[in-house]
Amino acid sequence: MKRISKILSLILSLCIISSLTLPLAYAANEKKNETTQTEETDATQEKASPSEISRAQAEWDVMVYLCGTDLESEGEMATTNLEMIKNTIPNDSVNVLIQTGGTKKWHAKETVGIDIATDKLQRWSYGEGGFNLEEELDNASMAKYTTLSDFITWGEKNFPAKKHLLIIWDHGGGSSTGLVVDELHDKAIMSLEGLERALKKSGVHLDLFMTDACLMASLETAQAIQPYADYLIASEEVLPGYGSNYEEWLQSLYDEPESDAPRLGSNICNSTEIMYAEKGDDGSLKGLTFSVIDLSKIAPVAEAFESYMKEVVSLVPDPVAFGQYLNAVSKTDRYQERNMWDIYDLARRGQKGGISKNTVKKLENAVDAAVLTRVRGSYHPYAHGLSAFITYNGTTDKLDRFARTCKNPWQLAFLDAVSLKWDAPEWACEVTGEIPQLKPELYTVKFETENNNDNSQHLVHINSGIDSGGSICYEIQSFDEEYQEWHDLGQSEDVKLLSYNDNDLTYTADFTGKWPAINDQFLHVTTKDVQGHTVLMQATVRLPEINPNKLMKLRIQAEYPEGLSNQIEEETEADEDEDHVVLYQFAGLWDGYDSSTGLSDRNTYSILDLAGLQMEVCTPIYSNYLNKIGDMRYNAPMTLDFDIDVKDTVLPAGNYRMRYSINDMLDRTYTTEFVNFTWDGSKAVFDPPVKTS
């Protein structure tokens, strides 16, 4: 009885204390919320953490801003990374904090064991007890800068640590677009300007900032975050769907918590490269770029890039000089939509186009000093870890958005010079003075077509007022007699440069009557990238078991052992008899673009991931009267396995048509008229072409 009496007395005392302290805490929180709303009405309301306990200072805070978007709802990619985190053995030297939101559906309940809400923002910790829900907030856009800043502030306040790593997980679209797309809030996207505001408002200085997102290893990103972070980890190219190797690098941080930011950054980059190699995901491995950038060294890079762009702008008034520059840099390593350029490679090539050696070396040396760790696959042999936004034909909306972030007046002057309908902001003009205007008509490619004497080849003559740079490919379509429609087989880079005379280039398609096929099903192939003898192709396919409503891209690496034919040829009997062998290799599958945002999808798959699934080869079709795409034909399904192979296969005899597609030095595309031809299985005979120019 005495024991029970003591317990009752203790409970009564605790109740009295609680009744006194709870109103005081409630009043304090109410006052704080009123103050916050007065200062900024759109800020996310702060709520008390359910696990308000005194914590010892950890070595690292790892804060993951996990905006799931369609990458999670359709591809379960965020869940995959949560599984990787779950596979680590944690300790109290590292705080792992995660904010979830921004997607229509989470898949983590079965595989990770946590039920993530779609109608709320949630904050989780991960430790020895697994994942723990720390806090729930009203739903708000993850693309809003205040949502991000509140998460950073909350993490630093409630989970103290000596060093801080912030990871932004989601889509990325490069410097002009930004990153973080919220699927629940009209596909809102956070601009670099918004990111900068978020970091400033948080008041937390980061040792390491990482974008687990595409296309964000740019000078513009680095400049935006430089005042608020010491190092940046990011990718110049589209980042594969698995992102970084969380299991490997996080475990190494648990085991070696005294690691500084450069060492941790290096571990993240290198372990990610190892992960794709071990998965056998050859396509992702060869396309991977990841770099660690010392933000204390960004100011010299920015200064050198300003000097470089100033010299480029000075070339614009001279059409010949500027044409030579455009031609010299036309093969620069560029990413996805080709408006993010590797600045080291740009400088290196720019020297051959009239940029002074001192300016080039200054920029190269500055990039080398700033980029501490660099991972680059064979698809990007000239990637050096830092890109910048440059476009010849950007929309006014895209350029306006970029101008709000860009800090380089000469970069804006260049965009003004090449854009007829866009003007640089006043502040930039005050620095650069009068901006020269490009005359695009001087760089317009002119062309005409004809057949050779026996009509076995279809030729195109290309010329322009300036040097005829750019690129050329040919496109093929076959006629289906049953449906009376044209089936688009896509394009080939394999053309011969027959002659070059007085600025006139004569090309012919190196058409052998063969086309890439799987099990005799001919592919619709387009070119994604060309590096030396290697062409990275994409073929349109559908995997009904993954998504019956979405077309995917089968990535294929084509290796031309003798090189592409677009060089001056001296025809000989030996050349004619020599087999033109192309070696093909699967490089995985890719979801393509998110149609609602226009951003690159990160959902990539290796053949190992998809073994046993059914795949349908898809062929775009054109009516007999229209040149534009009208529909899609789906071929008989085939099972994906390791025996499946792409081979050059002889096209069946029938009626076909061909045209050339030409890109000029300003990234403008021209197409010749289609010319019909017959193929008898061994020889092509072309109809006389319509004269075009």
Question: Residue 120 pairs with which residues in a beta bridge?
Answer: 138
Q: Is the pLDDT of residue 515 over 70?
A: yes
- The dihedral built from the CA positions of residue 609, 611, 616 and 619, taken in this order, carries a sign that is positive
Mean pLDDT of 395-400: 95
Q: pLDDT by residue (tens digit) across 178-201?
A: 999 999 999 999 999 999 999 999
Amino acid at position 421, single letter: K
Q: What is the pLDDT of residue 504?
A: 82
Q: Are 339 and 389 in contact (CB under 8 A)?
A: yes
Mean pLDDT of 165-173: 96
Q: Is the pLDDT of residue 390 over 80?
A: yes
Mean pLDDT of 238-255: 95
Q: Are 288 and 377 in contact (CB under 8 A)?
A: yes
Q: What is the pLDDT of residue 589?
A: 85
Backbone φ, ψ for residue 629 (5° rounding): -65, 140
Q: Which of 121, 123, 209 is nearest to 166 (CA)?
A: 209
Q: What is the pLDDT of residue 580?
A: 65
Cα–Cα dist 378/237, whole Å: 13
* Contact residues for 114 (Cβ-Cβ < 8 A; gap 6+): 82, 108, 124, 131, 133
Q: pLDDT by residue (tens digit) across 560-588?
A: 876 665 544 444 343 444 556 889 988 88
Q: Is the pLDDT of residue 693 over 60?
A: no
**Domain residue ranges of the chain, discontinuous segments joined by +:** 58-296, 299-369+383-441, 445-686
Mean pLDDT of 23-51: 39
Q: What is the pLDDT of residue 566?
A: 57
- Cα 359-361-365 angle, rounded to 5 deg: 125
Angle (deg, nearest 10), helices 246-255 and 77-86: 30
Q: Is the pLDDT of residue 12 over 50?
A: no
pTM to 2 decimal places:
0.86
Q: What is the pLDDT of residue 470?
A: 77
16 or 321: which carries more pLDDT confidence? 321
Q: Is the pLDDT of residue 125 over 60?
A: yes
Q: What is the pLDDT of residue 268?
A: 98
Region 58-296: CATH code: 3.40.50
Q: Which of 243, 202, 240, 235 is nearest to 216 (CA)?
A: 235
Percent with pLDDT over 70 in the chain: 85
Q: What is the pLDDT of residue 195?
A: 98
Q: pLDDT by residue (tens digit) across 278-289?
A: 988 888 898 899
Q: pLDDT by residue (tens digit) across 231-246?
A: 999 999 999 888 999 9
E strand residue ranges, 402-551: 446-451, 458-463, 471-480, 485-492, 495-501, 504-509, 514-518, 521-522, 525-531, 534-542
Q: What is the pLDDT of residue 572?
A: 39
Q: Is the pLDDT of residue 424 over 80?
A: yes
Q: What is the pLDDT of residue 508?
A: 95
Q: What is the pLDDT of residue 673?
A: 94
* Contact residues for 431 (Cβ-Cβ < 8 A; gap 6+): 409, 410
Q: What is the pLDDT of residue 575?
A: 47
Q: Is the pLDDT of residue 332 over 80?
A: yes
Mean pLDDT of 597-613: 76
Q: What is the pLDDT of residue 495?
A: 92
